[in-house]
Amino acid sequence: MRKEVIVIMKAIRILLRNIRDGFKSVGRNLSLSIASISCITITLLIVGIAIVVSYNVENMTKLVKEDFTIVSFVNTSATDEEIQDLKKTIESYKNVESVEHQTKTEIANEMKDTSDSLSKIIDSWSEDSNPLYDTLLVKVRDTEKISKTAEQISDLDLIDEVQYGQGMVENLLSIFKVLEKAMIVAMIALVFVTLFLITNTIKITIFSRKREIEIMRLVGASNFSIKQPFVIEGFCLGFLGSLIPIAVTLYGYSALYKHFNGQLFSPFIKLVPAEPFIYFVSLILLGLGVVVGMFGSYRAVRKYLKI
């Protein structure tokens, strides 16, 4: 056999043995493994809930922002052509995403659907006596700048008035801003807490096996081959620890979504649809558990390899 082949065979054998040992030692140190796994489980549960909540809040603010519209009332003297020109002008503004023209007849028809008494009154109007205004419904790109854009539109000659929920919109926006910042801070803090908690529990698990590492070194195991089974063990712990949080996410959130019919308290607050959201969260939890487990083991073992 060639030398390279022998080296590769050796490496594969060592890897396979380390995988075997990594799995074995989860069972051999069962009580400590259970302690580590439950710690990971609890932390990941909290992380999972935090992801679900923050993602929903973000989704809600996004939906609300998407609803922001500048309603621009066009002067009754404007001809159809002038309205089309007006629409083009507004569309050319940087912050404008879309402009929709609603004729007064369309608005009248819409209003007719809302109640019978209103319908009777509106029916008495002729085409010319319709007192309603043609409107342009403007959606903006950046909601922060909605008041500026509204001002720009109201300055146009043929626009009589603009409405976008002045006052209310600004309040909502500032609340959203605070909310988003708080979410980011909370998520970062949580990630650090997770890292810290999981690495520490695993450290304690490995601390109790200082002797094992010492003996491995004494019989001539290289640092790399000492680390390997521990890292694999960390992988197992992280994987097992993420199972319950993933199950809770998959079944819990789906059940929650069904129970509330996809909306919380009012149609205004919509929940993120369960699929594929739950798979995405599960993947994050699995990844977090496994990576942090491996990282924690690696760090902990490294500490005992320095002599």
Partner 1 sequence: MEFIKFRNVEKTYKNGVNAVYNLNLDIKKGEFVFVTGASGSGKSTLIKMLYREEKPTHGEIYVGGINVAKVKNSKVYKLRRKIGIVFQDFKLLPKLTVYENVAFALEIYGLPTQEVKRKVLKALDLVGLKSRTKSYPDQLSGGEQQRVAIARAIVNSPKLLICDEPTGNLDPDTSLEVMKVIEKINDLGTTVVMVTHDKEMVNKMKKRVILLDNGKLIKDYEKGSYSNHESN
For 132, counting Cβ atoms within 10 Å of its Cβ (0-12 exposed, 13-18 middle, 19+ buried), the class is middle
Q: Is 181 among the residues that bind partner 1 (CB under 8 A)?
A: no
Q: Which of 282, 136, 298, 134 is nearest to 229 (CA)?
A: 298
> Which residue of 153, 216, 294, 301 would you call a contact of partner 1, by CB under 8 A?
216
Classify residue 165 as left (phi > 0), alpha (psi -120 to 50) or beta. left
Q: Locate 22 and state its tokens.
A: 């990594």
Report, in Å, the least distance between residue 20 CB and partner 1. 10
Residue 302 binds partner 1, judged by CB under 8 A = no
Is residue 5 at the binding interface for partner 1, with CB under 8 A as the rule?
no
Answer yes or no whether residue 214 interacts with partner 1 by CB under 8 A: yes
207 with 300: CB under 8 angstroms? yes
To partner 1, the closest distance from the beta carbon of 203 in angstroms equals 20
Dihedral class, residue 198 (left if φ above 0, else alpha if ψ from -120 to 50, else beta): alpha
With respect to partner 1, which residue has the nearer C-beta, 154 or 225?
A: 225
Q: Which two tokens stand for residue 110?
A: 């819409």
270 beta partners: 263
Q: In the bound complex, what is the minimum distance in angstroms from residue 256's beta carbon to partner 1? A: 44
Q: Is 19 in the site for partner 1 (CB under 8 A)?
A: no
Structural tokens at position 112? 């007719």
Binding residue for partner 1, selected from 1, 219, 261, 267, defined by CB under 8 A: 219
DSSP 271: P
Is there a cis peptide before residue 245, judged by omega within 30 degrees of 0? no
The DSSP bridge pattern shows strands 159-163 and 70-74 to be antiparallel
How big is the chain by its Cα radius of gyration, in Å?
31
Q: What is the Cα–Cα distance from 65 to 55, expressed in whole angstroms?
A: 15
Site string for partner 1, 27-46 (x = CB under 8 A): -xx-----------------
Stretch that binds partner 1, among 11-19, 104-112, 161-169, 187-195 (CB under 8 A): 11-19
Please work out the total of residues on this chain that contact partner 1, with binding judged by CB under 8 A. 25
Task: From 44-52, 120-128, 176-184, 219-227, give the range in contact with partner 1 by CB under 8 A.
Answer: 219-227
Site string for partner 1, 225-254 (x = CB under 8 A): x-----------------------------
DSSP-derived 3-state class of residue 125: coil
The residue (of 10 and 148) whose beta carbon lies closer to partner 1 is 10
Tell the smallest beta-carbon distance from residue 19 to partner 1 (Å). Answer: 12
- Residues at the site binding partner 1, with contacts judged by CB under 8 A: 9-14, 17, 28-29, 211-212, 214-223, 225, 305-307
